[in-house]
């Protein structure tokens, strides 16, 4: 696996050759999940280099911003001379984080509209695999949990090189079910993960209620760092369908025959209100919130998250 690390930490000149991000629809043709994750990681590292934060891939792995009150002896003055940024080199116990990737396998995650490239579940799998690849390459311990009505799979956090293959296999084999119980999954990870771990949830949040949103905040209050990737299909935002349409529930609900023109405006208002509720709950609970649709480049979605962490 050493050559994989060299591949990620390649020079700025080589990574800047990636001028365009991969379309999500092309990823299925790339082969194994490992190949997909490496290809996506290339775009992410290139994006970090193109960001205003110079040398992003190195600082993401080794440095954190200097905060007033810290010992100035730990400032890396060489980095300051090159970038005018005050950073301190992290000690080994600070860089070895524990990260858990929580995968929502509810039926709605398997939805794909006519113009979408992939399902929400597949988008989550590619995104989680790529983040796992990057985190493990910098020495962090990564675990994962998938759930629907029950916890389906659980991998404890580990830094072993062979662990990456287990994570890739798990994400590649993700399947959706009709029902979901996110609250139960969050309680399970709260019992199994150590405090101060980073918990990253991948979900469309269509079933989010006050109890679940409050519990996400509780996780944060229990010293977990929490992030949410809110993943949606663009059609779920726009309701673009025309003419009399039969809508089928993906989680066991009865079908509904309606004319979308009669309810589009009200639907869009209710959906935006739902999104605002989730975003506000995350803000109150100090939960990092990243919203995206499945037609957005996965590299850009990851960069929304990573740029705030370097």
Provide the pairing of β-strand 98-104 with 198-203.
Answer: parallel
Output the pLDDT for position 232. Answer: 97
Closest CA to 201 of 225, 178, 177, 167: 225
pLDDT at position 190 over 90: yes
pLDDT at position 277 over 60: yes
Gyration radius (Cα) of the chain, Å? 20
Confidence of residue 45 (pLDDT cuts 50, 70, 90): confident
Tell me the pTM: 0.77
pLDDT at position 17 over 50: no
User: CB under 8 Å to 71, separation ≥6 — which residues?
Assistant: none
pLDDT at position 47 over 60: yes
Mean pLDDT of 238-253: 61
Taking residue 224's Cβ as centre, other Cβ atoms within 10 Å add up to 22
pLDDT at position 1 over 90: no
Output the pLDDT for position 299. Answer: 95
Rounded-to-integer distance, Cα 50 and Cα 56, Å: 8
Which residue segments constitute the domains of the chain, with CATH numbers given? 2-93 (no CATH), 97-309 (3.40.50.410)
pLDDT at position 92 over 50: no
The more confidently predicted of residues 89 and 169 is 169
What beta strand segments (E) does the chain contain?
63-65, 87-89, 98-104, 141-147, 151-158, 198-203, 225-232, 245-247, 256-258, 288-293
Output the pLDDT for position 16. Answer: 39
DSSP per residue over 139-168, as a string?
A: T-EEEEEEESSSEEEEEEEE--TTHHHHHH
> What is the residue-averaged pLDDT of the chain?
81
The more confidently predicted of residues 127 and 15 is 127
Output the pLDDT for position 251. Answer: 53
**pLDDT tens-digit map of 95-129:** 578 999 999 999 999 999 988 999 999 999 999 99
The more confidently predicted of residues 176 and 7 is 176
Confidence of residue 217 (pLDDT cuts 50, 70, 90): confident
Output the six-digit token pair for 231.
């993943």
């Amino acid at each position: 696996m050493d050559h994989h690390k060299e591949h990620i930490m390649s020079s700025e000149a080589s990574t800047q050759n990636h001028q365009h991000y991969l379309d999500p629809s092309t990823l299925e043709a790339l082969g194994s999940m490992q190949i997909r994750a490496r290809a996506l990681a290339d775009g992410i590292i290139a994006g970090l280099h193109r960001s205003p934060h110079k040398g992003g891939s190195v600082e993401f792995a080794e440095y954190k911003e200097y905060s007033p009150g810290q010992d100035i002896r730990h400032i890396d003055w060489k980095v300051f001379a090159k970038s005018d940024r005050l950073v301190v080199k992290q000690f080994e116990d600070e860089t070895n984080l524990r990260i858990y990737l929580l995968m929502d396998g509810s039926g709605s995650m398997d939805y794909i509209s006519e113009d979408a490239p992939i399902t929400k579940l597949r988008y989550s799998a590619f995104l989680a695999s790529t983040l796992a690849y990057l985190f493990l390459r910098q020495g962090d311990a990564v675990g994962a949990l998938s759930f629907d009505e029950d916890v389906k799979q659980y991998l404890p956090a580990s830094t072993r090189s062979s662990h990456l293959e287990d994570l890739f296999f798990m994400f590649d084999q993700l399947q959706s079910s009709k029902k979901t119980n996110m609250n139960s999954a969050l309680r399970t990870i709260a019992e199994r993960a150590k405090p101060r771990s980073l918990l990253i949830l991948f979900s469309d949040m269509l079933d989010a209620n006050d109890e679940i949103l409050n519990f996400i905040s509780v996780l944060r209050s229990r010293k977990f760092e929490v992030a949410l990737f809110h993943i949606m299909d663009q059609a779920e935002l726009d309701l673009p369908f025309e003419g009399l349409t039969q809508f089928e529930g993906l989680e066991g609900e009865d079908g509904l025959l309606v004319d979308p023109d009669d309810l589009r405006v009200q639907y869009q208002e209710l959906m935006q209100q739902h999104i605002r509720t989730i975003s506000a709950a995350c803000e109150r609970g100090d939960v990092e919130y990243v919203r995206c649709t499945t037609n957005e480049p996965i590299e850009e979605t990851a960069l929304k998250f990573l740029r705030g962490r370097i």
